[in-house]
Chain A
Amino acid sequence: MSHEKREAHACAEYWKLSRRGFLGAASGAAATIALPRVAFARGGGTPRPTLVGIFLRGAIDGLSTVVPYGDAGLYTARPNLAVGAPGTTDGAVDLDGYFGLNPNAAALLTPFQANRLAFVHACGSPDPTRSHFDAMRTMETGTPDNPTSTEAAGWLARHLQSVSPSGTGPLRAIAQNDLMPRVLALAPNSLPILDPGNFALAGAPATEASRRAAISDAYARTIEPLRSAASNTLDSISTLEAIDFAGYVPANGAVYPASPFGAVMRNTAALIKAGIDLEVAHYDYGGWDHHNDQGPLTGTLAGMLGDLAAGLEAFYLDMQGMEDRYVLYAKSEFGRRVAENGSAGTDHGSGGIMMVMGNRVQGGQVHGVWPTLDPSQLDNGDVRVETDYRDVVAEILTAGIGGTDLGNVFLGHGTTPLGVVV
Chain B
Amino acid sequence: MLQQSVGATAPKVDRPAALRDPILALVHRATFGYTTEEHARARSMGFEGWRDEQLAPDAINDSALDAELASFGSLPLTFAQMLSAYPPSSNGDAVVATELRSARILRAVLSRRQLFERVVEFWTDHFNIDGIGSAQLRYLKSVDDREVIRTHALGRFRDLLGASAKSGAMLVYLDNASNVAGAPNENYARELMELHTLGSDGGYSETDVVEVARCLTGWTIRAVGSGAAGTFRFDANTHDDLSKIVLGVPIPPGGGQQDGETVLDLLASHPNTAARIARKMCVFFLDYEPAQTTVDRVAARFLETDGDLRETLREVLSRASFEEIDVWSAKKLRRPMHMALGAVRSTGASVAAAVGLAGELQLMGHAPFTWAAPNGFPDALGAWGTNLLPRWSFASRLTAGGVPGALLPLSSLSQLFAGVPANRRAAQLDRALTGGRMAPADVTELQAFLDAQPTVDVNVAREAVALALSLPSTQWL
Contacts and interface: CB of A to CB of B under 8 A. Distances in A.
A66 interface: no
Interface in A160-215: 177-180, 182, 185-186, 190-192, 194, 199-204, 207, 210-211, 214-215
A21 B332 contact: yes
B187 interface: yes
A8 interface: no
Contacts of B459: 204
Interface stretch (B21-29, B309-317, B380-388): B380-388
A345 B449 contact: no
B448 A291 contact: no
Nearest to A132: B373
B442 interface: yes
Contacts of B475: 226
A221 B444 CA distance: 13
A179 B384 contact: yes
B388 A201 contact: no
Interface in B421-477: 439, 441-442, 445-446, 448-449, 452-453, 459-460, 462-463, 466-467, 470-473, 475
A218 interface: yes
Interface string A216-259: 01110111111011101100010000000000000000000000
Given A20-B288, A133-B194, A292 B185 contact: yes
Given A21-B332, A178-B364, A225 B385 contact: yes
A55 to B, nearest CB: 12
Nearest to A192: B387
Interface in B180-216: 180-187, 190, 194-195, 199-201, 206, 209
Interface in A327-375: 339-343, 345, 347-348
A291 B442 CA distance: 50
Interface stretch (B35-43, B51-59, B97-105, B394-402): B394-402
B406 to A, nearest CB: 14
A214 B449 contact: yes
Contacts of B201: 26-27
A44 B5 CA distance: 53
A215 B471 contact: yes
B289 A292 contact: no
B261 interface: no
A107 B473 CA distance: 50
A385 B470 CA distance: 48
A131 to B, nearest CB: 5
A210 B365 contact: no
Given A21-B289, A130-B209, A287-B372, A202 B382 contact: no
B288 A343 contact: no
Contact of A226 (B194, B206, B388): B388
30 contacts: A20-B288, A21-B287, A21-B288, A21-B382, A22-B382, A24-B383, A26-B280, A27-B200, A130-B190, A132-B375, A133-B195, A178-B365, A182-B382, A192-B386, A192-B387, A194-B365, A202-B394, A207-B460, A214-B467, A215-B467, A215-B470, A218-B445, A218-B473, A221-B439, A222-B472, A225-B386, A289-B187, A292-B185, A341-B184, A343-B175
Given A211-B449, A341-B184, 19 more contacts: A17-B381, A18-B288, A21-B381, A22-B382, A26-B200, A130-B206, A134-B200, A182-B382, A194-B363, A201-B392, A202-B393, A203-B463, A211-B467, A219-B472, A223-B331, A226-B386, A237-B389, A287-B372, A340-B183
Interface of B: 174-175, 178-187, 190, 194-195, 199-201, 206, 209, 276, 279-280, 283, 287-289, 292, 331-333, 363-366, 372-373, 375, 378-389, 392-394, 396-397, 400, 402, 439, 441-442, 445-446, 448-449, 452-453, 459-460, 462-463, 466-467, 470-473, 475
Interface of A: 17-18, 20-24, 26-27, 30, 57-58, 129-134, 152, 177-180, 182, 185-186, 190-192, 194, 199-204, 207, 210-211, 214-215, 217-219, 221-226, 228-230, 232-233, 237, 286-287, 289, 291-292, 339-343, 345, 347-348, 380
